[in-house]
Amino acid sequence: MKTLCLVLLAAVGYQPLAAQTVIRPAAPLDSARAELRDALVGFRDSLITVDGAAARLQRDFRTASAPSLLSRARTMHDACVRSLRAMPPARAAVEAAHLTNPKRVQLRRELVVALDSLKGVLRYCETEFSAMSKPGQAETVRGYGNDRAGRVQAGLRSYERTLRGFLQIMGIRVLPPGVPAAG
């Protein structure tokens, strides 16, 4: 009986416990991937302002005053313009990446196509919200701004899905803004 207890105790004690598992941080990026990450994160951060402006416009468009609606349309326009200006360096970094792995090359092509599509969405945003931010257009913003902002957000989500796949295949881990890196 003592032998059986010792064998069972040894068998149970041999199993590694999950609480004792050590999670090691990811290996540091080489300089080329770090540059690529920095360019893409900078561009992503500019897109967050577009998303935030759209969310504010959608949040209370029914009850906002006319000056508030015009201000939100101006904010949306300005955010889209800033993102359009931030796009060329990100695109150049993606195109300049020296890739040999066929899957990485394919996903880079998809990301470039997604950037082109997003450029069209941001230009649409710039045009639509430029017109809506003019004096006397508050009711246009109230009536159509929500739909236009939703279209822009749909374009952002599409780009984000493609970006996520590219970063994953590149081995680049990007945390959401505000999340501290484990260290």
Q: Is residue 52 part of a domain?
A: yes
Q: Is residue 82 part of a domain?
A: yes
pTM of this prediction?
0.81
Residue numbers of the domain that contains 44: 30-170
As a whole number of angstroms, the distance between CA 45 and CA 148 comes to: 21
CATH number, domain of 82, equals: 1.20.120
Q: Please, which residues have CB within 8 angstroms of residue 166's CB and are 6 or more apart in sequence?
A: 94, 107, 108, 110, 111
Q: What is the pLDDT of residue 17?
A: 54
Query: What is the per-residue pLDDT across 18-37, written as a single tens digit (0 to 9) for each?
Result: 556 676 776 788 889 999 99
The domain total for the chain is: 1
Q: Is residue 166 part of a domain?
A: yes
Query: What is the per-residue pLDDT across 147-156, written as a single tens digit (0 to 9) for each?
Result: 999 999 999 9
Q: What is the pLDDT of residue 133?
A: 93
Phi, psi (degrees; rounded to nearest 5) at 27: -65, 145
Q: What is the pLDDT confidence band of residue 6, given thresholds at 50, 70 and 90? A: low
